[in-house]
């Protein structure tokens, strides 16, 4: 059975996305497969008014969900490190949650440590180790850029491992 998983790395200036298709064969698990479908980022400009930036995230994410038609969305949980940035990311997450609710899409959330553990076997792995694991798992010639897109693919793969 084919599943499409959309991974999201939430951000206000840059929202990373990565979509994968997964085929699960319960009678022959060795035939399970995963492929990259798409990846990229939604960008908002710092010189644009905040409300308009949220509208851009909303419109672009709405279009993306319509194009990808995921069965499941996987989101990286909010990580607190700087209060000002955390508030902006939380606002972007609100937009994400609204779009998912409008499309009636189920979602799962993972902490950065859970994603690192799932992909590398080590919860404190560095970004390069995680990105290398994404490349290996999806049989890619090079790591997707920018980093936010590769991170979103890592989130999607984490959800695939949980199915």
35-44 pLDDT, tens digit each: 999 999 999 9
Active site members: 9, 76, 148
Q: Are strands 2-9 and 72-76 parallel, antiparallel or unpaired?
A: parallel
Encoded tokens for 26 = 């319960």
Range(s) of the domain holding residue 67: 2-162
> Distance between CA atoms of 145 and 16, rounded to whole angstroms?
10
CATH number reported for the structural domain that contains residue 44 in this entry: 3.30.420.10
Query: 27-31, 45-49, 120-124 — which is least confidently predicted?
Result: 27-31
pLDDT for 27 equals 63
pLDDT for 115 equals 95
Encoded tokens for 19 = 């979509």
For residue 151, the SS3 value is helix
> Distance between CA atoms of 50 and 41, rounded to whole angstroms?
18
> Distance between CA atoms of 126 and 80, rounded to whole angstroms?
18
The domain total for the chain is: 1
pLDDT for 28 equals 57
């Amino acid at each position: 059975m084919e599943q499409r998983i959309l991974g999201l790395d939430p951000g206000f200036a840059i929202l990373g996305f990565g979509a994968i298709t997964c085929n699960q064969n319960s009678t022959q698990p060795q035939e399970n497969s995963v492929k990259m479908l798409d990846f990229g980022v939604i960008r908002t400009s710092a010189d644009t008014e905040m409300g308009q930036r949220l509208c851009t995230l909303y419109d672009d994410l709405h279009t993306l969900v319509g194009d990808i038609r995921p069965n499941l969305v996987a989101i990286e949980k909010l990580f607190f490190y700087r209060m000002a940035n955390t508030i902006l990311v939380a606002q972007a997450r609100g937009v994400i949650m609204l779009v998912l609710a409008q499309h009636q899409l189920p979602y799962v959330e993972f902490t950065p440590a859970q994603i690192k553990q799932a992909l590398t076997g080590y919860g404190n792995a560095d970004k390069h180790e995680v990105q290398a694991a994404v490349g290996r798992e999806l049989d890619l010639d090079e790591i997707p850029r920018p980093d936010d897109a590769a991170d979103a693919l890592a989130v999607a793969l984490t959800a695939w491992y949980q199915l």
